[in-house]
Amino acid sequence: MKVALFIPCYVDQFYPQVGMATVKLLDHFGVQHEFPKAQTCCGQPMANSGCMPEARPLALKYVDVFKGYDYIVAPSGSCVSMVRNHYESFFTEEDHAANEVRKRTYELSEFLVNVLNVTEIKGRFESTVGIHQSCHGLRELRLGPSSETMKPRKSLMANLLASIDGISFSKLQRIDECCGFGGTFAVAEEAVSCMMGEDRVNDHLAAGTKVLTAGDMSCLMHLEGIIRRRKHDIKVMHFAEILAEALTSPVAV
């Protein structure tokens, strides 16, 4: 298969180790992949602010860069959701190339489980992990169960993590509550955003979380800022980093 890596802005600029962890996972499962250097932002920040005309050129650019690939894989539910669910504003049903690119864009856990049929990660990671289910991945890509739907659904990320030897999970009171980041919401509604983030951090503290993980570095950046300012002993890692680190640790026999 011909696979392209789409690396979101936050990962590219602030958390390149998440991109490298993604590469390590794809290499481990024998996926040959490319990183198209012409890629840019998907346009989500503009769209979140209601600036759809400004987002459109980036959507056109995305399609132009990634057309011709069988799959486009990104370690970000929010960016993938932007492409799959919100690019419809820019294209019609007759734009077959664009719509094929949209359909072939996958979030990392989704690609591992639904395309590569990965059911377990053979490795070790000893820590108590708290999972944050980021809103776009949860409620737009359906990568896990959300309480308001009352419908059973497996969490792709949680199932992959649960297969690792030595890992345990903290039991949160609110397993699918928003962290308060919301892109430009964190700027326009700073006080509300911070209060929501503090609620999430307090839940993880009470549950004994040692490593806080999610599928979106934007959410983790927001939560990590609160954790650092309050000097809490919680480490923040994208789930790809945990999986990649586990691969380097032998499984206990």
Domain limit, last residue, from 65, 91, 115: 115
DSSP 188-242: HTHHHHHHHHHHHHHHHHHHT-SEEEES-HHHHHHHHHHHHHTT-S-EEEEHHHH
**Same domain, yes or no, for 128 and 105?**
no
Q: 85 and 138 in one domain?
A: no
pLDDT of res. 251: 67
pLDDT score recorded for residue 145: 84
Please tell me whether residues 32 and 57 are part of one structural domain.
yes
For residue 209, the domain's CATH number is 3.40.50.10700
Q: Do 101 and 149 belong together in one domain?
A: no
For 35, the token pair is 């990183």
Count CB atoms within 10 A of the CB of residue 2: 10
pLDDT at 252: 54
Please say if the pLDDT value at position 119 is more than 70.
yes
Same domain, 194 and 176: yes
Q: What is the pTM of this model?
A: 0.94
Residue 250 has pLDDT above 90, yes or no: no
Residue-range definition of the domain harbouring residue 72 = 3-115
pLDDT band at 198 (very low <50, low <70, confident <90, very high): very high
Is residue 202 in some structural domain?
yes
Domain boundary among 115, 150, 175: 115
Instruction: Say yes or no: 154 and 242 in one domain.
Output: yes
Q: Mean pLDDT in the chain?
A: 94
Question: 3-state DSSP call for residue 127?
Answer: strand
* Structure confidence by residue, pLDDT tens digits, 32-65: 999 999 999 999 989 988 899 999 999 999 999 9
- Looking at the structure, do residues 131 and 53 belong to the same domain, yes or no? no
Nearest to 146 by CA among 132, 133, 159, 156: 133
Q: What is the C-alpha to C-alpha distance for residues 230 and 227, in angstroms, rounded to an integer?
A: 5
Predicted confidence (pLDDT) per residue in 4-19, tens digit = 999 999 999 999 999 9
- For the chain, the domain total comes to 2
State the average pLDDT over residues 113-122.
Answer: 96
Q: Of residues 148 and 32, which shows the higher confidence score?
A: 32
Are residue 17 and residue 81 in the same domain, yes or no?
Answer: yes
Q: What is the pLDDT of residue 48?
A: 84
Identify the domain boundary among 115, 133, 164: 115
Q: Is 120 helix (H, G, I), strand (E, B) or coil?
A: coil
- 187, two tokens: 């700027």
